[in-house]
Structure 1
Amino acid sequence: MTVSEYLKQNTAEYHDAAEKLFSSEKIFNRTFTLEDYKKIIRTNYLMLLNSEEEIFSKLSERFSEKLQLDDRKKLSLIEEDLKSLELKRSIASHELILANESEALGAMYVIEGSTLGGNVIAKQLSKTDGFDEVTFNFFGCYHENTGAMWKDFKEVLDTEITEPHYDDVLSGAKKLYTFLLNVN
């Protein structure tokens, strides 16, 4: 089993909890409101504010190049969404601390996965009444390259991470999911 399969299998309950928290089913039956969207943006902003630097600082130079880390920074994009939605910047009620590089990669798995899902959300909401003026800077960050960026990320993980490190990677993913689900 690859580490990406291991992560998918062992974080499914967290993923489902996040979808429930953000009322994801409303996105597809077109009852999602601008207030619902603001909640997703505010929560993801707090997640990125407290994780992006923590993740990137733990990754070695080899991952910086292989993962094109400069192209994966999203905090400034979600800050643009905050501004366009007239949401105030805030701070999280607790902080995220990652122990090592493997945990950082696990946390990054959650963020990159949310980007993949976010692309679907952006496409769906752009067809929903009330979202004509919304710019999807964060959710649309990779544009037509979303699938390729996700594939590249998983490929690097699956190639570089050996089984003895699977639990640390999973620990980082669970830390970030727990942070996301409890931040306010």
Structure 2
Amino acid sequence: MPYPATGSASCTDRDLARVLRRATAGVHAEIELLPLMAQLTAETVTLAAYQQYLHAMVSILAPLERTLFDVIDPAIREQLGVRPKLPALLADLDEQGLTYHPRLVAMTATLALPHDLSATVGGLYVLEGATLGGRTIARHLRRRLGESLGAARFLDFHSDQTAAAWKAFTSALNTLALHQALVPDQVIAGALAVFAYLHQRIEGS
């Protein structure tokens, strides 16, 4: 799967969030076209398609969040304003009457990523950025599925505060980069690694 070039010259841009968006645009678009994701935005979307998505995402998200949140410094995590999204996903599964095995989720192998702050923040950028598209998808599903959709806690994670949460995250990201707490090239590498993981796992679901 091709990835955009991420030469160090791009990292002279003071807006790291903008650099990340450009560097990951290609693989982001590829993921949106994968069947598991594309069926959610179709006009003919069904409740079964949404339930399939929820079930698939548990085994994808659990190891990813465990990897990222085990590494991130608590102070940096608070500054970025991020928190795990797996509890919201599990609540949606319960609401839909779907079964999952907590022990299996707990035992899922963690994702191999560098134990490095910059790469970890790059991974968190991917998860936080997904809340923007998630809210759009949730609105579409509410129009097509009505009350059967339920709360859609995972897709609509920040609800009415989605734009504000994203603005706060990117502001904190740029502040950390400005104070040289992050290495931009490593942040980009971490984001691309997480996107590659998501592409592989979603494609195989």
The 2-side partners of 1:94 and 1:33 are apart by: 31
- Structure 2: gaps of 5 or more residues: 1-12
Superposition pairs of residues 1-184 of structure 1, within 5 angstroms: 1=13, 2-22=15-35, 27-69=40-82, 72-85=83-96, 86-89=98-101, 95-99=110-114, 100-128=116-144, 130-135=145-150, 136-161=152-177, 165-183=183-201, 184=205
CA distance in 2, matches of 1:26, 1:48: 19
Distance change (3 Å), C-alpha of 1:29 and 1:180: closer
- Post-superposition shift, 1:169? 0.9
Give, in angstroms, the shift of residue 93 of structure 1. Answer: 7.9
Bigger Rg, which one: 2
User: SS in structure 2 opposite 1:132?
Assistant: helix
Distance in 1, Cα, partners of 2:16 & 2:36: 28
8 A contact 1:43–1:180 mirrored in 2: no
Name stretches of at least 5 consecutive residues in structure 1 with no aligned partner. none
- Verify the 8 A CA contact 1:44 1:180 in the aligned structure 2: no
How has the CA–CA distance of structure 1 residues 22 and 148 changed in structure 2, closer, same or farther, with 3 Å as cutoff?
Answer: farther
Match of 2:8 in 1: none
Note closer, same or farther for the CA distance 1:6–1:149 as it changes in structure 2 (3 Å cut).
Answer: same
Distance in 2 of aligned mates of 1:166 and 1:138? 29
Task: Give the RMSD, CA atoms, in angstroms.
Answer: 2.4
Separation in structure 1 between the aligned mates of residue 124 and residue 24 of structure 2, nearest angstrom = 13
How many residues are paired up? Answer: 181
Taking structure 2 as the reference length, what is the TM-score of the superposition? Answer: 0.77
* Amino acid in structure 1 at the alignment position of 2:69: F
What stretches of structure 1 move > 3 A for 4+ residues in a row? 22-29, 89-95
- Name the TM-score, length of structure 1 as normaliser: 0.85
Using the TM superposition, give the Cα deviation of residue 131 of structure 1 relative to its aligned residue in structure 2, in angstroms: 4.4
The answer as to whether partners of 1:28 and 1:124 remain within 8 angstroms in 2 is yes
CA distance in 1, matches of 2:128, 2:35: 17
